[in-house]
Structure 1
Amino acid sequence: MLQRPEVVDYFPNLEVRGGRIVKVEDTKVIALEDAASTEPLQLYFNPTLDEVEDVEVITAAKLIHWTGSHPEARLLQVQHMINTARRLVREADKRLGLDGLGADLCCVIMDVRHQGRAGFDELQAALLAKRPFEALLEVGRRGQPERVKNLKAALATRRAGLRQKKWSRSIGDFV
């Protein structure tokens, strides 16, 4: 998104140089990410986790406006999350053997991995439970109860359709 022409309207001091995001202040270039970390970039958008600060609110408003005003930017965000979801499911498949598993279960696994709520051992135990969907929803609930509650609510009306799609290891997607 930082290579889109309208970036100057939202984040004029952010650029991509050498494949990495930097902040430009006058003639000074400050790296906000490298191969090891994106922490400086995260702090740029949200300086602390202690409270909701003005910087965080303004940044969120800019992103919302950008997304709402520019369909191409919105499409980039959607495509990025689709690619991320596929990558997370492919990685989980290597560890958990998800081939043929319903998209409802894979969706929960992907969310757990995306949010960092648990590791593969906990996910494997949940998959082996009598009611794997319910067990997967419990994985990481203690640390993020609201996230799990919202995920459960979002999947409640979509689960039947998701169950019809199966993960295909050979294709790397749902069929």
Structure 2
Amino acid sequence: MAIDFSITSTITPKGRTTYNAQRLNSNEDKFNIGSKTLYDGNFGLFNTSVTTGQVYNPEDYVAKYGFWAYFIYPTAMAESSGSFKCLNTYDRAQFTFSFMQYGAHVPNGDFVKFFRKLLQLPNASEYFPKLVLSNNRIFYKSNETLSPLENDSSSQALMDYLNPTLNDIENQELISAARFVHWATNDPNHRETQVATAIAMYKENMKAYHQRYGLDHAPANVCQMICDIRHQGRAKSDRIALALNTNGDYNKAFLNLCIIGDTNYQTRINTVRSTIKKLTDMGKFSLKYNATTGEFV
């Protein structure tokens, strides 16, 4: 049975419009979907709330993923303070979700891969009854007709399904957001899928970054900062390569990486750096990358 919601809005004392949802035919409480915002001429939602029990903690996943559970943590803190229900629908991605902020605008990108995995969960049809997977592609199903929402060259149809326009906040956008927030809040398998996607992504990224930068035996702090720079997109590859050109002095390389983008992104860099230090002080971040195995040892 499909999960449906009633949507209501309120105006805060500061004049901000916030949207709440309540599951129909249930005794569940209302929950916050997000707040309306205007960004670069676009209207959309954002949800940056951090709720106890809904935050990424590497200790919860280290038994399954080992060191990688710690490796993604600095980026998770920078992206969302670890919030599993982090949402924005106001920029060119049109729909971004998860503690690592997966954006829907990249064909075969992190969001698309994440959503494909979600649609394989047992309760997927309850949240998105009109979406199906076929040959590992996302389709919209109307009667018996399947319409593709993404392919190797575009995910625009999927973006438009989740958030029809950036001109206003539409009902479809609110329903899509409510489904994601509710699903993440109530289903540990949804949260596990967020984590599995992040770790798979960073594992593959590290293999590619080694090919570009030569990271065999590079310490975890250097590798993590590279991954965060590339994940956010705050520098091009040549700038990273220049920072690493230290004749093997990884302490200097790390400091060089920490100043990339500091004019505009100092707060984020501080978060990543302080989280790395916290993990290092705990004895959790002393490993080095082994390019042969693709693991940290």
Length-normalised TM-score, structure 2 = 0.51
Counterpart among 162, 165, 171 of residue 287 in structure 2: 165
Deviates more, 1:162-171 or 1:49-58: 49-58
Give CA-to-partner distance per residue, 1:51-79, whole Å, 9 cap, x none: 77665554344223212322223222211
Distance 1:95 1:76, change over 3 A: same
Q: Within 5 A, what are the aligned runs for 1:95-114?
A: 95-114=212-231
Q: Quick one: percent identity of the two aligned structures?
A: 32
CA distance in 2, matches of 1:24, 1:43: 15
Residue 37 (1) aligns with residue 158 (2): no
The equivalent residue for 1:78 is 195
Structure of larger gyration radius: 2
Deviates more, 1:13-22 or 1:120-129: 120-129
Give CA-to-partner distance per residue, 1:143-168, whole Å, 9 cap, x none: 65654454344334224445401111
CA distance in 2, matches of 1:25, 1:138: 51
Length-normalised TM-score, structure 1 = 0.80
Contact between 2:276 and 2:285, CA under 8 Å: does it hold in 1?
no
Contact between 1:15 and 1:22, CA under 8 Å: does it hold in 2?
yes
CA drift at 1:126: 1.5
Deviates more, 1:144-153 or 1:29-38: 144-153
Give CA-to-partner distance per residue, 1:31-52, whole Å, 9 cap, x none: 1111122233234334456777
- Which of the two has greater strand per residue? 2
CA drift at 1:20: 0.5
Residue 122 (1) aligns with residue 244 (2): no
Alignment length (residue pairs):
175
The equivalent residue for 2:259 is 138
Counterpart among 139, 144, 151 of residue 22 in structure 1: 139
The equivalent residue for 2:205 is 88
Contact between 2:132 and 2:141, CA under 8 Å: does it hold in 1?
yes
Distance 1:53 1:89, change over 3 A: farther
Which secondary structure state, in structure 2, belongs to the residue aligned with residue 158 of structure 1? helix
CA-atom RMSD, angstroms? 2.8
